[in-house]
Amino acid sequence: MCIDDLPSTYYPWYSTKDESIKKRKGWVYVVKTPKGYKIGKTHSLKARIKQLAKEFFDDIEIIHFIHFDEFVSEKEKACHELFKDKNNGFRLEYFDLSNKDIELIKSEIFIDKVLNIESKIAEKNKEEHTKNSLRKIRKLEKKKDAINQELKKINEQIRKELNWYKEYPSSLQRLTTDGQIEVMKYL
């Protein structure tokens, strides 16, 4: 396939904290390079393939690309997960794929497999998020307990001081440097 035959639609990747940012459109692509098969994602397929061609001195072959209307990053992660045992160690996105793997990528089943893996990853992430949230809650509860203990000590000290004033109403009192209360009678 020629680079000029690729779709030139561009989906901007806005930097925003909006939740809809996770619903980015884009492509997951598979390209054969001298370093192995690269599985990646992009918002501008044509521009990305041109960039890879330049990086590898035009020694690339476009194997396949799939357009997704949302969650393209998650789809890419699912593809990486599907072939994780074939990662060649060059980089996270490069794999040593067989002809059978390439046939799978080009088949109808591939998208179903990717979506299935994506949902498993999402479920795992949800569980991890829940565990992390519970850990944070426990940590905050410990801090809260420590603060309550300190407040209890402070309240006890205040109560003692108030009782002292009741016991010695005609005296002046001051706190010494070692934390003791010193009573001074009026002259």
* Residue for token pair 């793997």: 101
- Alpha helix segments (H runs only) across 93-107: 99-106
| Closest C-alpha to 10, from 45, 60, 50 | 45
Cβ(27)–Cβ(42) below 8 Å = yes
Q: Is beta strand 171-175 parallel, antiparallel or unpaired with respect to 181-185?
A: antiparallel
Q: What pTM was computed for the model?
A: 0.60
**Is the pLDDT confidence value at 145 over 50?**
yes
- Work out the average pLDDT over 121-136: 90
Kindly list the domain boundaries of the chain, sorted by start residue.
3-106, 119-187
**Which amino acid is present at 81?**
E
**Is the pLDDT confidence value at 15 over 50?**
no
**Rounded percentage of the chain residues whose pLDDT exceeds 90:** 50
**Is the pLDDT confidence value at 170 over 60?**
no
| Closest C-alpha to 30, from 165, 86, 129, 182 | 86
3-state secondary structure of 182: strand
pLDDT band at 158 (very low <50, low <70, confident <90, very high): confident
**Is the pLDDT confidence value at 95 over 70?**
yes
Report the distance separating Cα 55 and Cα 95, nearest Å: 17
Rg (CA), the chain: 32
* Residue for token pair 């009573």: 183
